[in-house]
């Protein structure tokens, strides 16, 4: 049993609704707080002196300089398993070159596919672990990671195995997702419908047999997979027992509706969602995941996060960290920027980075500091938790705890 504290403030994120808008006044803030942990879980959160008296035998993890504590963050959408980089895409795009011109000069998702296929499993694992450390330093301890740069049986399995291997080398929780339906690969002979059938028949059964992922994603877009074929694909994936998430409404609207109709855990991107899509999504249990990093990487509008919350939806915010559209990997910076443009309260942003993001991953044991939850939290040397978003990512945790142990 270990008591961490005393903290000037503990922001628990407890007692807040899963859906809809949040006011900062509703945040539970414990002053002179303590967090008691045992076997990776939280036994008690409350007044430091009270807990110390109640559990006199507990080991003391003395926190100096009046720091603050919040639940560790959850990044529910990343593509951090990849080879190579796409700096030239970024430069060309900023010079006014079109998507087509970039693809024709050897860029785009296909270029990451070629680099990822050229990398060994070990190299991919090393790359993942390097990026996981970068995210951990921002207080992120749960990280979803997609495949999707392999695009055939062997290469998709290589990516998912690399993620599985990385999981054995980090205390962070890695949540793998099969995104074989990212793009029809150039070397596949057949229609996109044929490729989707190939995923269902050849890739997903192996993913399942090896327990490499229990989530399936698809990029529904004019340039990738069309809405009707995507819906059929997702229903089949669901029948195979996979949870569903969708890259939806990034450039054209309509696919978030499909995500809701198939009972997806989340619909991600939503930069192009129209009001009717937002209302439909907000009335469901499907989490809307905003990816401001992709808006910043591409120079596209932000997801209409304010409208989603005002309509009663569940909003999460994730980094989308990938070599193409979102190369930054700074989730807190991105969430703070989204907040200034979309007018999101601090409570709404913190919820979107913690328990609401965890819900999108079907993880119900984290994102809140309360009795019985996983003891993942971050502490900051600052006198006010508002400074985390105010500093737009430049204030980083002094320590990050996973299962009650400091890992940084």
Interface residues with ligand NIG (CB under 6 A) are 79, 109, 112, 219, 247, 250, 294, 320, 322-326
Structure tokens at 132: 């996981």
Shortest Å, Cβ 79 to Fe ion: 6
Shortest Å, Cβ 182 to Fe ion: 9
Candidates 265, 267, 216, 268; CA nearest to 240 is 216
Cβ nearer to ligand NIG, comparing 7 with 219: 219
- 55 preceded by a cis bond (ω within 30 of 0): no
Shortest Å, Cβ 102 to ligand NIG: 10
Q: What are phi and psi of 116, to 5 degrees?
A: -70, -40
Chain positions contacting Fe ion, by CB under 5 A: 320
Q: Please answer whether residues 30 and 52 qualify as being in contact, where contact means their C-beta atoms are separated by less than 8 angstroms.
A: no
From Fe ion, ligand NIG, none, interface partner of 250 (C-beta below 5 to 8 A by class): ligand NIG
From ligand NIG, Fe ion, none, interface partner of 367 (C-beta below 5 to 8 A by class): none
Cβ nearer to ligand NIG, comparing 21 with 257: 257
Cβ nearer to Fe ion, comparing 155 with 320: 320
Shortest Å, Cβ 207 to ligand NIG: 19
Q: Please answer whether residues 120 and 391 qualify as being in contact, where contact means their C-beta atoms are separated by less than 8 angstroms.
A: no
Candidates 219, 226, 132, 205; CA nearest to 171 is 132
- What's the CA angle centered on 340, arms 75 and 260, to 5 degrees? 50
Q: Please answer whether residues 313 and 278 qualify as being in contact, where contact means their C-beta atoms are separated by less than 8 angstroms.
A: yes
Cβ nearer to ligand NIG, comparing 182 with 373: 182
From ligand NIG, Fe ion, none, interface partner of 325 (C-beta below 5 to 8 A by class): ligand NIG
Angle between helices 153-167 and 121-136 (to 10 degrees): 50
> Looking at 189-256, which runs of residues are DSSP E strands?
215-219, 243-248
Shortest Å, Cβ 174 to ligand NIG: 18
Shortest Å, Cβ 141 to ligand NIG: 22
From Fe ion, ligand NIG, none, interface partner of 8 (C-beta below 5 to 8 A by class): none
Cβ nearer to ligand NIG, comparing 14 with 277: 277
């Amino acid at each position: 049993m270990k008591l961490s504290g005393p903290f000037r403030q503990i922001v628990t994120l407890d007692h807040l609704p899963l859906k809809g808008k949040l006011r900062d006044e509703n945040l539970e803030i414990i002053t002179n707080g303590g967090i008691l942990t045992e076997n990776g879980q939280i036994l008690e959160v409350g007044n430091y002196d009270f807990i110390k008296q109640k559990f006199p035998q507990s080991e003391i993890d003395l926190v100096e300089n009046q720091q603050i504590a919040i639940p560790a963050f959850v990044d529910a959408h990343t593509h951090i398993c990849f080879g190579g980089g796409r700096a030239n895409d970024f430069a060309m795009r900023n010079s006014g070159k079109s998507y087509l011109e970039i693809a024709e000069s050897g860029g785009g998702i296909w270029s990451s596919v070629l680099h990822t296929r050229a990398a060994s499993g070990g190299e991919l694992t090393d790359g993942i672990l390097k990026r996981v450390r970068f995210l951990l330093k921002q207080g992120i301890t749960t990280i979803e990671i997609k495949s999707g740069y392999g695009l055939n049986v062997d290469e998709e399995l290589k990516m998912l195995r690399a993620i599985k291997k990385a999981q054995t080398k980090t205390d962070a929780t890695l949540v793998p997702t099969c995104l074989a339906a990212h793009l029809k690969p150039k070397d596949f002979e057949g229609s996109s419908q044929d490729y989707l059938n190939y995923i269902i028949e050849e890739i997903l059964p192996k993913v399942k047999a090896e327990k490499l992922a229990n989530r399936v994603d698809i990029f529904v877009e004019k340039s990738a997979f069309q809405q009707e074929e995507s819906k059929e694909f997702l229903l089949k994936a669901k029948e195979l027992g996979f949870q569903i998430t969708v890259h939806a409404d990034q450039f054209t609207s309509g696919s978030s509706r499909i995500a809701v109709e198939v009972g997806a855990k989340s619909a991600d991107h939503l930069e192009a969602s129209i009001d009717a899509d937002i209302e439909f999504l907000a009335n469901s249990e499907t989490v809307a995941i905003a990816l401001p990093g992709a808006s910043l990487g591409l120079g596209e509008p932000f997801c209409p996060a304010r409208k989603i919350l005002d309509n009663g939806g569940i909003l999460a915010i994730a980094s989308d960290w990938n070599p193409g559209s979102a190369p930054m990997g700074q989730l807190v910076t991105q969430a703070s920027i989204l907040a200034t443009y979309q007018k999101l309260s601090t409570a709404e942003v913190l919820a979107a980075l913690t328990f609401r993001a965890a819900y999108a991953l079907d993880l119900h044991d984290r994102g809140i500091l309360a009795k019985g939850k996983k003891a993942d939290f971050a502490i900051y040397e600052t006198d006010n938790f508002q400074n985390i978003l105010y500093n737009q990512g430049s204030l980083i945790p002094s320590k990050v705890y996973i299962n009650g142990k400091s890992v940084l």
